[in-house]
């Protein structure tokens, strides 16, 4: 394999290496796209009793994977690998040189690890940069606020936007007070209910404020706890609505502005944002495999995303998920195991911009959808696992419960609902069973998309357990005689 070339940047190596790499990539993609699908009427599933007996036969293999990950020579390996990676590369925003460097490093790491079919699949991704940004309250007192612009936000004019503030606690309140919003900066001081519900203010806050004539929007960070830490994230504009600058502020400042407004105080803020959007650039999904020894065309996909936001180090979101996914294949390889079907590792690009890398992968591989037994994604940080979240048929869920029983010595045996994830939802919605790791979500969202997302948040012992869970589930599903049933 020639040296890696990053498309859209200066080539690494000579021109001939660039050409060779391109040809190799095309050949690999052609090979992947030519996989044969399984006829639906060719599948014959065992009874649950037969499946229980078959899964019970994996107790020794499961114990070997657990012992290697938690107590053996691989102890702390995923944590140590990740620490070197994030300390060396730092944050990895879509379209950035840091993300290019990260992909290059991981490509080499996976090759050096001895994994098979290591290759890159190109994806066109957004390129946005936040630039310099500030928010200063001028009235009723001079006070500099901590802010983080939201992904894809436009910038302000160079002199900034200076305007009176309207504080609202919900979209409904904004509509009731729509006549008061024109020409103002709308501040959302919405209470935290859950991430799924409250994140709608981050995603749609700018559009809703623009509809009623606001000049900009500032949104209370989506978290239940804060140590004066703003949280960034993506937001979405609407084609028929004017674009206005938008950023997140801390819980503390949102509540302060809410109190001032409740006492009838006039609030004036000067907002300056240097955000810019550049033309799309080319990035890559990073892929590696352990090829199956009996049904190599069938796939169990294990994944995490390699990109991150441009603040913090992206260790929690989602370096940890990417690295335990790599570790799952490393553990299987270390034991000399080769499952019946292929274990495929995918490290997604541009997840933070809405799963752009994953969508491209789905479009490229969906013709082989009947060959996918399970798609797995870890993207909720790595703390001590509480179980596995699973989406699939009841028969498949019964099988997963038996597999999780192999982890009884780790006390991680529960199977919850909701195995979805941004990068695997395309497959789940099309009927493929999906799984994600269940963690302490509250702790996760304390650090999510903040400057605090560093390796310090993670615990090597917890990563060991997570890697053990991930490897056992991936290997056993990949080695069962039958694919997971979809009905």
Q: Which residues are catalytic?
A: 351
The Cα–Cα gap between 129 and 98 comes to 13
Q: Which of 206, 136, 143 is nearest to 171 (CA)?
A: 206
3-state SS, residue 384: coil
Contacts of 107 (CB under 8 A, 6+ apart): 4, 118, 120, 286
The Cα–Cα gap between 188 and 218 comes to 6
> CA torsion angle for 220, 222, 226, 231 (degrees, to 10)?
-80
Residue count of the chain, please give it.
487
Contacts of 26 (CB under 8 A, 6+ apart): none
Question: Where do we find the tokens 């936001």?
Answer: 309
3-state SS, residue 184: coil
Q: What angle do CA 310, 313, 315 make, to 5 degrees?
A: 125
Q: In Å, how far from its chain's centre is CA 334?
A: 27
Beta strands in 291-332 (DSSP E): 295-305
The Cα–Cα gap between 62 and 86 comes to 30
Cβ-based neighbour number of residue 131 at 10 Å: 12
* Cβ-contact 6, 108 below 8 angstroms: no
The Cα–Cα gap between 477 and 487 comes to 17
The Cα–Cα gap between 4 and 20 comes to 10
3-state SS, residue 220: strand
The Cα–Cα gap between 425 and 420 comes to 6
Query: What is 118-170 written as a DSSP string?
Result: EEEEEEEEEEEE--SEEEEEEESS-EEEPEEEPBT-----TT-EEEEEEEESS
Cβ-based neighbour number of residue 390 at 10 Å: 26
Token digits for 453? 């997302």
Return the H-helix or E-strand segment holding 328.
Answer: helix 320-334
Cβ-based neighbour number of residue 116 at 10 Å: 17
Beta strands in 28-84 (DSSP E): none
């Amino acid at each position: 394999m020639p040296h890696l070339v990053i498309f859209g940047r200066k080539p690494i190596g000579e021109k001939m290496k660039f050409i060779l790499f391109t040809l190799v990539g095309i050949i690999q993609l052609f090979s992947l796209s030519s996989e044969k699908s399984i006829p639906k009427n060719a599948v014959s599933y065992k009874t649950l009793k037969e499946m229980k007996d078959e899964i019970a036969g994996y107790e020794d293999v499961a114990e070997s994977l657990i012992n290697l990950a938690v107590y053996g020579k691989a102890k702390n390996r995923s944590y140590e690998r990740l620490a070197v990676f994030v300390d060396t590369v730092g944050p990895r925003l879509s379209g950035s040189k840091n993300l290019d460097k990260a992909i290059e490093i991981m490509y080499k790491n996976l090759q050096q690890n001895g994994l098979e079919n290591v290759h890159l699949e190109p994806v066109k991704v957004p390129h946005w940069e936040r630039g310099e940004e500030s928010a200063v309250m001028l009235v009723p007192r001079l006070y500099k606020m901590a802010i983080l612009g939201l992904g894809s936000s436009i910038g302000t004019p160079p002199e900034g936007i200076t305007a009176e503030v309207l504080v609202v606690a919900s979209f409904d309140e904004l509509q009731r007070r729509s006549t008061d919003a024109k020409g103002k900066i709308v501040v959302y001081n919405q209470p935290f209910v859950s991430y799924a519900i409250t994140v709608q203010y981050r995603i749609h806050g700018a559009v809703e404020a623009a509809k009623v004539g606001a000049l900009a929007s500032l949104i209370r960070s989506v978290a239940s706890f804060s140590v004066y830490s703003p949280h960034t994230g993506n937001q979405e504009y609407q084609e028929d609505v004017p674009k206005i600058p938008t950023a997140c502020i801390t819980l503390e400042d949102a509540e302060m502005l809410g109190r001032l407004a409740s006492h009838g105080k006039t609030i004036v803020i000067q907002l300056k944002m240097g955000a810019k959007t550049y033309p799309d650039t080319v990035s890559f999904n990073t892929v590696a495999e352990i090829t199956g020894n009996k049904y190599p065309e069938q796939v169990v996909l294990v994944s995490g995303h390699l990109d991150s936001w441009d603040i913090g180090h992206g260790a929690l979101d989602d370096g940890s998920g990417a690295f335990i996914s790599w570790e799952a294949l490393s553990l299987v390889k270390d034991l000399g195991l080769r499952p019946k079907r292929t274990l495929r590792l995918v490290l997604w690009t541009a997840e933070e911009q809405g799963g752009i890398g994953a969508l491209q992968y789905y479009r490229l591989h969906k013709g082989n959808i009947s060959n996918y037994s399970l798609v797995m994604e870890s993207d909720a940080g790595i703390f001590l696992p509480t179980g596995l979240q699973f989406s699939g048929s009841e028969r498949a869920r019964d099988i997963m419960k038996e597999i999780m029983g192999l982890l009884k010595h780790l006390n991680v045996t529960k199977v919850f609902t909701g195995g979805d994830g941004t990068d695997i939802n395309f497959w789940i919605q099309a009927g493929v069973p999906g799984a994600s790791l269940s963690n302490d979500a509250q702790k996760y969202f304390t650090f999510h998309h903040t400057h605090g997302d560093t390796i310090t948040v993670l615990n090597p012992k917890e990563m060991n357990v997570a890697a053990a869970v991930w490897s056992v589930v991936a290997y056993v599903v990949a080695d069962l005689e039958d694919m997971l049933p979809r009905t």
